[in-house]
Amino acid sequence: MEAHGWITIITVAGAAALLVATRIAADLVMIGAVALLMTVGVLTPREALAGMANEATATVGVLFLVAAALRATGGMEIVTRSVLGCPKSVTGAQARLMLPVTALSALLNNTPIVAMMLPVVSDWAKKHGLSVSKLLLPLSYAAILGGTCTLIGTSTNLVVHGLLVERRPELAMGLFDLAWVGVPCAALGIAYVLLASRRLLPDRRPVMSTLQDPREYTVEMLVEPGSPLVGSTIEQAGLRHLRGMYLMEIHRGGDVLPAVSSEERLHAGDRAVFVGVVDSVVDLQRIRGLAPATDQVFKLDQPRSERCLVEAVVSDTCPLLGRTIREGRFRSAYNAAVIAVARNGERVRKKIGDIELRAGDTLLLEAPPSFVRQHRDSRDFFLVSAVEDSAPPRHDKAWTSIAILAAMVAAAGTGLLSMLNAALLAAGLLLATRCISAASARRSVDWQVLLVTAAAFGVSRALEKTGASAWVAGTLTGSCGSSPWAALAAVYAVTMVFNAFMSNNAAAALMFPIAFATAESLGVSTMPFAVAVMVAGSNDFATPIGYQTNLMVYGPGGYRFTDYLRLGGPLNLLVGAVAVGLIPLIWPFRP
């Protein structure tokens, strides 16, 4: 192996060490590795940047937009309530999540499934007070395990199958042939995650869940006529265990229902009074069938989907001091509607219009984004700040976005269109039907995920180009002697190790010729070795860079490299042991 091969090995090892031992962002580490390899002449600029033009990278980027549109229309909330339900524990939540995702990933490519489910699971965890770090890695693992169950579950299976049929057409596999190995691996893998994740996964929560926010708002929400919440109990509607907020009472006609029971059923026109922090008010806005009780929000000029929530602290020079919000005609004066008022920790029990403004009151407003620019330096307010990600959902577009999603899945799942083509058409339709604005679409892309993915292709190309990967693979597999079992285990192990540090397709494509040659040299069937490369190339649980879905949950889950090693390392060994044990029983070594 020449000098460039050793430089590549040292660079990859150094990148892995930085990811394991430091908290440097994964995208910076991977881009740095590619930059170094390009500087020393291992990679050309075209090779270094090829990952940005890769179809898988582009598909994931477009799917961020599709997922954002579902969230913006409230379609996410419909999906969450109908599929995931209301778990009673973290283990129950993991089971509710992993089982359907595993089944779906067997029939569709697992990467877009995780891209679609990421915001759904994040909102679901937030709503039920669960740590998102306990759910996102199981989501990725479920998608990976499901992809191993069929020939179309992951692109790696198709790549290896294509290489196999090219050499031995008579060994072509059926759609569900892999299930003999994939289903047992998936079942044991899910059982392991449910049992082990309680101790091996971190419990990392956002700051708001551990620190008390002093600004507690009292906000009234109206149960709209025709709402899907009408007839549901408080528990079924998801209004009992809200993060950072509780239901104080319900006003129904002329009656007040205090200390509302979980079994109390909601009626059309109910005015539910909640007490909580601002992030929880944002969550309330996303619940389909609830609307702010004040009618002022419907009298503003801009459509609700183009507004946001703003916090503004009333100054001692505000002209409305000493007057009620209604008397001061707040909406007309500022083109903003007051949703709630916080006052030094005390509860303001009056209706919004009857609250008399005082200096120091913190107002939660629904207003156009221009409100912040116009009043940031105004003498009427001490402080004005927009609440992040607080645009009210367009519930009237929820079923439109779900229909577009279903059409995208159907077109890609039946092979009518490629996943990228289907996703691009879906994104265009979502923009055309105004399910999401162009500005929101641009903000929806998680560039860290895309940059790490693109950089991984550059590193993989360097390993292949310099012969570093072939040298390592040949050295490891050449020490197995004449035992087909030992050779099979070695092929699986080397593919698994390579998969941890390069793209799964690259690892599988690199190892297949070595596996094929190993089988021929031993005079045994090629099938066990081909299936071993498929399974090992489709499964990596021990590193964030070994599989695309692991990368996708890295940032949103707040994970560190060691979290993958701790939970995923034993899972890699478990799945490997099951696969190596079963494969020769299903596809014997005899030629």
The dihedrals phi and psi of 572, each to the nearest 5 degrees, come to -55, -45
The residue whose two tokens read 């039946």 is 414
Say if 147 falls within a structural domain: yes
134 in Cβ contact with 197 (< 8 Å): yes
φ, ψ for residue 518, nearest 5 deg? -65, -45
Strand residues in 268-403 grouped as ranges (E): 271-276, 290-292, 308-314, 337-342, 362-367, 381-386
Give the Cα-Cα-Cα angle 287, 288, 292 (nearest 5 degrees). 70
In a domain, 397, yes or no: no
Q: Of 386, 401, 430, which closes a domain?
A: 386
Give dist(CA 480, CA 121) in Å, integer. 45
- What is the number of other CB atoms lying within 10 angstroms of the CB of residue 18? 18
Cβ proximity of 325 and 365 under 8 Å: no
For residue 237, give Cα distances in angstroms to 228, 234, 249: 9, 5, 15
Same domain flag for 236 and 291: yes
Please give the Cα distance from 506 to 540 (Å, whole number).
Answer: 13
Instruction: Identify whether residues 139 and 164 lie together within a single domain.
Output: yes
Domain identity same for 148 and 14? yes
Predicted local distance difference test score (pLDDT) of residue 113: 76
- Look at residues 135, 224, 147, 157 and name the one whose alpha carbon lies nearest to residue 182: 147
Domain membership flag for residue 404 = no
Query: Is 424 part of any domain?
Result: no
Q: Which of 342, 358, 386 is the last residue of a domain?
A: 386
Pair (83, 172) in one structural domain: yes
CA dist., res. 582 & res. 528, Å (int): 10
Task: Tell me the residue range of the domain where 12 lies.
Answer: 3-26+55-204+448-586
Are 171 and 231 in the same domain? no
SS3 assignment, position 31: helix
Report how far residue 448's alpha carbon sits from residue 428's, in angstroms, rounded to the nearest whole number: 23
Q: Are residues 360 and 465 in the same domain?
A: no
User: Same structural domain for residues 243 and 283?
Assistant: yes
Co-location of 92 and 19 in the same domain: yes
181 and 133 inside one domain: yes
Residue 271 DSSP class: E
DSSP β-bridge partners for residue 366: 309, 337
Task: Report the alpha-carbon distance of residue 141 to residue 567 in Å, rounded.
Answer: 10
- Quote the pLDDT of residue 208: 42
Q: How far apart are the first and last CA of the chain?
A: 34
270: CATH: 3.30.70.1450
Is 417 inside a domain boundary?
A: no
CA distance 515 to 443: 44
SS (H, E, C) 316-361: CCCCCCCCECCCCCHHHHHCCEEEEEEECCECCCCCHHHCECCCCC
- Judge whether 262 lies within some domain: yes
Same domain, 237 and 379: yes
Please, are residues 576 and 202 in contact by the beta-carbon 8 Å criterion? no
Residues 554 and 461 in one domain: yes
Q: How many separate domains does the chain show?
A: 2
My answer on whether 65 and 182 are in the same domain is yes
CA distances from 143 to 139, 146, 190, 496 (A): 6, 5, 11, 17
Residue 579 lies in a domain: yes
426 domain residue, yes or no: no
Distance (Å, rounded) from C-alpha 488 to C-alpha 477?
Answer: 9
Q: Mean pLDDT, consecutive 10-residue segments, the chain of 591 residues?
A: 85 78 78 92 88 75 80 71 77 90 79 75 78 91 91 77 81 84 95 92 60 65 85 82 78 82 88 80 78 68 73 89 88 86 74 85 85 85 78 77 84 77 90 86 77 75 77 65 83 85 70 79 87 90 83 83 90 94 91 71
> Could you say which of 386, 415, 431 is where a domain stops?
386
pTM for the model: 0.63
